[in-house]
Amino acid sequence: MRERDEPVRLTRIYTRGGDAGETSLGDGSRVPKTHPLIAAFGVVDELNAHVGLARAAGVPAAMEQILGRVQNELFDVGADLCVPVREDTADRLRVTEEQVAALESDIDRVNAGLSELRSFTIPGGTEAAARLHVARTVCRRAERVALAAARTEPVDPLALTYLNRLSDLLFVLARAANGGHEPLWVPGASR
CA atoms within 13 A on the CB side of 163: 29
* Residue 157 and residue 96 in contact, taking contact as beta carbons nearer than 8 Å: no
The kind and range of the H/E element at 55 are: helix 36-56
Distance CA 56, CA 51 (A): 9
Distance CA 36, CA 22 (A): 13
The count of other CB atoms within 10 Å of the CB of residue 124 is 13
Question: Residue 166's closest CA among 53, 51, 42?
Answer: 51
The pLDDT value given to residue 87: 63
The pLDDT value given to residue 160: 95
Specify the 3-state DSSP secondary structure of 23: strand
Question: Residue 37's closest CA among 77, 74, 66, 70?
Answer: 77
Please give the model's pTM, rounded to 2 decimal places.
Answer: 0.86
The pLDDT value given to residue 45: 94
pLDDT tens digits, the chain, 191 residues: what are they? 556 666 665 666 666 666 666 666 566 667 666 688 888 989 999 999 999 999 999 898 899 999 999 999 998 999 889 887 656 556 666 789 999 999 999 999 999 998 888 888 889 999 999 999 999 999 999 999 999 999 998 889 999 999 999 999 999 999 999 987 888 888 888 88
Greatest pairwise CA separation for the chain in angstroms: 67
